[in-house]
Chains A and B, each alone.
Chain A
């Protein structure tokens, strides 16, 4: 049987952003479980621990202290254990070159950080809906690229 919720993790050092993110998911129709981490080190410590519950989608903020989003992305892509996680990058940059490079490095989703709550909700809803389709319809995850 299909799992009846989607497990989501966010790593972001900004407390307000984490708050908005969690609230946005609470208001969506889709059942989700959201965990947040304050930086890349906290996140990787958790993912590498034996009792970690791996998420369906991992949202990474690019600019974090100690370990940034790209470093996390590289570490995750090097470990086969994490193959099933869809990785979404939150960034403020919209340079085409930068976006392509992020995808080449293994990100599945590239999100330009929205500046208002309504857009954030819409974006997260789109991401989770499409990811759900990949999850439940046997689509080829290697071809999963999405830019919002």
Chain B
């Protein structure tokens, strides 16, 4: 028997983090969105052990300041796309306000570190979110377009095709067929 599941990534990460920090008896506060405050001094050995254990779950402790800021930019963009109250907000304004740097600075830093621009990253994330909704919800493409603040379903379809090279309906067909194949095995 095969079952299909969907994940709440942030809930999973939070639980793993909490378990590990409690296991090592480190007093802490989880600030949400990829930030944890350690409320006491942690020995290097313990810290290395924690880093190692978290890595098994694909959780990396980021040490470099630039990487931290880039991670914050990514988190903020993902938050914007997933939060219905924020889809209408202009991303350049929101990023600059929330992170306390000029958009020009953030934009240059982002391109240096990730090899792509903030604008492209936003488009990629929106299309990824659309894909996730296509495969895991009953929403129609029109409803998905509306939820992601596209002016029309045609606009979403065009952008989807530009980014992935295939149409949303072809994407859906392929995923459905893959699942059918996996079920037969």
Contact at A133–B124, with CB atoms within 8 Å?
yes
Q: Name A's interface SS.
A: mixed
6 residue pairs bridging A and B, Cβ less than 8 Å apart: A1-B62, A2-B67, A103-B174, A104-B177, A138-B9, A139-B128
Q: Which of B40-48, B101-109, B165-173 contacts A (4 or more CB under 8 A)?
A: B165-173
Tell which of A100, A137, A140, A142 touches B170, judged by Cβ atoms closer than 8 Å: A100
Give the chain B neighbours of A106 by CB distance below 8 A.
Answer: 178
Complex formed: what's the CA distance from A130 to B116 in Å? 9
Sample of 15 further A-B pairs with CB below 8 A, known A103-B178, A132-B114, A133-B116? A1-B63, A1-B67, A29-B115, A100-B173, A100-B177, A103-B174, A132-B115, A137-B121, A137-B125, A138-B58, A139-B128, A140-B128, A143-B128, A145-B174, A147-B165
Chain B interface residues (CB < 8 Å from chain A): 9, 58, 60, 62-64, 67, 74, 114-116, 121, 124-125, 128, 131-132, 135, 164-166, 170-171, 173-175, 177-178, 181
Contact at A133–B121, with CB atoms within 8 Å?
yes
Contact at A104–B181, with CB atoms within 8 Å?
yes
Contact at B114–A148, with CB atoms within 8 Å?
no
Contact at A148–B128, with CB atoms within 8 Å?
no
Measured between C-beta atoms, what is the minimum distance from A50 to chain B in Å?
A: 21
Measured between C-beta atoms, what is the minimum distance from B70 to chain A in Å?
A: 9
Give the chain B neighbours of A146 by CB distance below 8 A.
Answer: 164-165
Q: Quick check: is A136 within 8 A (CB to CB) of the other chain?
A: yes
Contact at B74–A1, with CB atoms within 8 Å?
no
Give the chain B neighbours of A110 by CB distance below 8 A.
Answer: 165
Q: Quick check: is A129 within 8 A (CB to CB) of the other chain?
A: yes
Chain A interface bracket (under 10, 10 to 19, 20 to 34, 35 or more): 20 to 34
What residue in chain B is nearest A106 (Cβ atoms)?
A: B178
Contact at B74–A145, with CB atoms within 8 Å?
no
Give the chain A neighbours of B174 by CB distance below 8 A.
Answer: 100, 103-104, 145
Give the chain B neighbours of A147 by CB distance below 8 A.
Answer: 164-166
Give the chain A neighbours of B74 by CB distance below 8 A.
Answer: 137
Given the interface pairs A2-B67, A139-B128, A140-B132, the reply to whether A129 lies near B178 with Cβ below 8 Å is no
Contact at B9–A145, with CB atoms within 8 Å?
no
Measured between C-beta atoms, what is the minimum distance from B161 to chain A in Å?
A: 9
Which 5 pairs of residues, A with B, have the shortest CB-CB distance? A147-B165, A143-B131, A104-B177, A103-B174, A147-B166
